[in-house]
């Protein structure tokens, strides 16, 4: 199994303990965690991260692992277990593939099932940092006008959130947010900042809070290619969407003071009026108007979209596996697909918006959810996204 599972065991200083309570110990320290390889006990696992469509918010990443528990190694009441005292909720867990981290989260549940034959199973359930952020309340106060990335950092710095500074990957942001009063849930507020920016906010595969602004534009030089003609990573027959799931031809954007509505008249004539309202933290009317125009331009027509790809890792070369395990939310991909080998290939660029792993003793299937890049932001001098008549459109 190329996948490695590591369970975080407590190596924390414990007052009055004869081993863990020794002053000056380099092994048992404040907040200490020791990751131990438990792969040999794994029967199978699944990882689910991301969201279903571009305009959705990202969900908390989930991990489920099935362990062989015949020897009661994962029984919280078995004191002779090598992991005794650590089969409890809130322990860290980490999954790697070919040495590259794919998931970091915290255990939420241990579910034990016993069989008369002695083939007992322990089921670990874990969630990533979004679950933690969803349980935190903002520290009361007033936000000053600032870039969206600075607002994200301000929330993470709050005493009530206290997210570690070395577990962040925060872009500056292109939008300027107005003054605001902090109140309510931390994750809900951060997702409103994400919405105001038109960017991406998620927990990356290393467990960090990641914030990408809308100007984190794609380039053809950083694209991972998937193809059914041996020119890229092979995949199972693609799941395609073509409908009104993301068709909006009347968009109203507000910021609490200003409001702007943009219309796509031709789209409304063809498909009827499909409305979408966006409540933002943007600081002024100019940004509000620009955002409305941008959204109605981007989502005013139905799009033929590759929604999801399934990749059998056993069919890949070592180089292709490296490319797969490097993917995360926001990675740019290109898909080349000729349905039933009839006619010309369909080629689309996309943005990774979800990643899933299903691993057993014999198989490892990765699913890649794809967001739209057919109307991505204009990138100067790029061969594809730098053409005004091509995939790139001007930003607001």
Residue range 154-181, pLDDT digits in tens: 999 999 999 999 999 999 999 999 999 9
Torsion of the alpha carbons at 159, 160, 162 and 163, rounded to the nearest 10: -150
Architecture of domain 3-127 in CATH?
Answer: Beta Barrel (2.40)
Residues contacting residue 275 through CB under 8 Å, at least 6 positions apart:
248, 250, 251, 252
Query: Which stretches within 124-185 are classed as H helix?
Result: 129-133, 148-157
- Which residues make Cβ contacts (< 8 Å) with residue 331, sequence separation at least 6? 224, 351, 352
Every domain of the chain with CATH number 2.40.10 lies at 3-127
In this predicted structure, what is the pLDDT of residue 388? 52
Cα–Cα distance between 15 and 316 in angstroms, integer?
51
The residue-averaged pLDDT of 322-348 equals: 92
Ranges in the chain annotated CATH 3.55.50 = 133-212
pTM higher than 0.85 for the full model?
A: yes
pLDDT on residue 132 = 95
Per-residue pLDDT for 19 more than 50? no
Q: What is the mean pLDDT of residues 106-125?
A: 91
- Rounded to 5 degrees, φ, ψ at 312 are -85, 110
Mean pLDDT confidence for 247-254: 96
Residue 263: the pLDDT is 97
Q: Are 127 and 62 in contact (CB under 8 A)?
A: yes
Length of the chain: 396
- Cα 102–chain centre separation: 11
Predicted pLDDT at 303: 83
- pLDDT averaged over the chain? 88
Specify the fold of 133-212.
Answer: Phage tail protein beta-alpha-beta fold (3.55.50)
pLDDT tens-digit series, residues 288-301? 999 999 899 889 98
pLDDT at 385 over 90: no
Domain 220-241+303-391 belongs to what architecture?
Answer: Beta Barrel (2.40)
| Residue range(s) occupied by CATH 2.40.30 in the chain | 220-241+303-391
């Amino acid at each position: 199994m190329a996948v490695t599972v590591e369970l975080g065991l407590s190596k924390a200083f414990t007052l009055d303990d004869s081993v863990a309570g020794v002053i000056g110990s380099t092994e048992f320290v404040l907040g200490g965690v020791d990751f131990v390889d438990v792969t040999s006990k794994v029967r199978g696992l699944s990882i689910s991260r991301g969201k279903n469509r571009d305009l959705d918010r990202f969900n908390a990443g989930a991990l489920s692992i099935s362990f062989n528990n015949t020897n009661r190694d994962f029984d919280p009441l078995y004191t002779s277990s090598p992991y005794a005292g650590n089969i409890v909720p809130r322990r860290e867990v980490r999954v790697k593939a070919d040495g590259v981290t794919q998931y970091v989260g915290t255990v939420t549940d241990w579910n034990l099932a016993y069989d008369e034959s002695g083939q007992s199973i322990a089921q670990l359930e874990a969630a990533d940092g979004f679950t933690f952020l969803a349980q935190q309340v903002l520290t009361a106060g007033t936000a000053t006008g600032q870039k969206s990335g600075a607002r994200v950092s301000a929330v993470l710095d709050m005493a009530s959130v206290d997210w570690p500074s070395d577990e962040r990957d925060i872009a500056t942001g292109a939008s300027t947010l107005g003054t605001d009063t902090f109140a309510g849930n931390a994750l809900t507020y951060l997702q409103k900042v994400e919405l105001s920016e038109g960017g991406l906010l998620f927990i990356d595969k290393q467990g960090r809070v990641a914030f990408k602004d809308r100007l984190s534009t794609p380039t053809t030089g950083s694209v991972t290619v998937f193809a059914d003609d041996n020119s890229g990573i092979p995949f199972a027959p693609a799941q395609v969407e073509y409908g009104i799931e993301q068709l909006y031809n009347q968009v109203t954007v507000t910021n609490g003071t200003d409001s702007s509505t943009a219309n796509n008249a031709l789209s409304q004539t063809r498909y009827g009026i499909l409305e979408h309202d966006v409540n933002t933290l943007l600081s002024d009317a100019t940004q509000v108007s620009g955002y409305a125009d941008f959204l109605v331009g981007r989502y005013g027509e139905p799009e033929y979209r590759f929604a999801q790809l399934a990749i059998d890792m056993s069919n890949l070369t070592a180089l292709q596996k490296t490319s797969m395990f490097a993917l995360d939310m926001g990675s740019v991909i290109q898909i080349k697909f000729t349905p039933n080998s009839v006619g010309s290939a369909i080629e689309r660029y996309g943005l990774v918006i979800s990643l899933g792993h299903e691993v057993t003793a014999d198989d490892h299937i990765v699913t890649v959810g794809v967001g739209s890049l057919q109307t991505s932001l204009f990138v100067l001098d790029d061969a594809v996204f730098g053409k005004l008549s091509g995939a790139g459109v001007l930003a607001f």
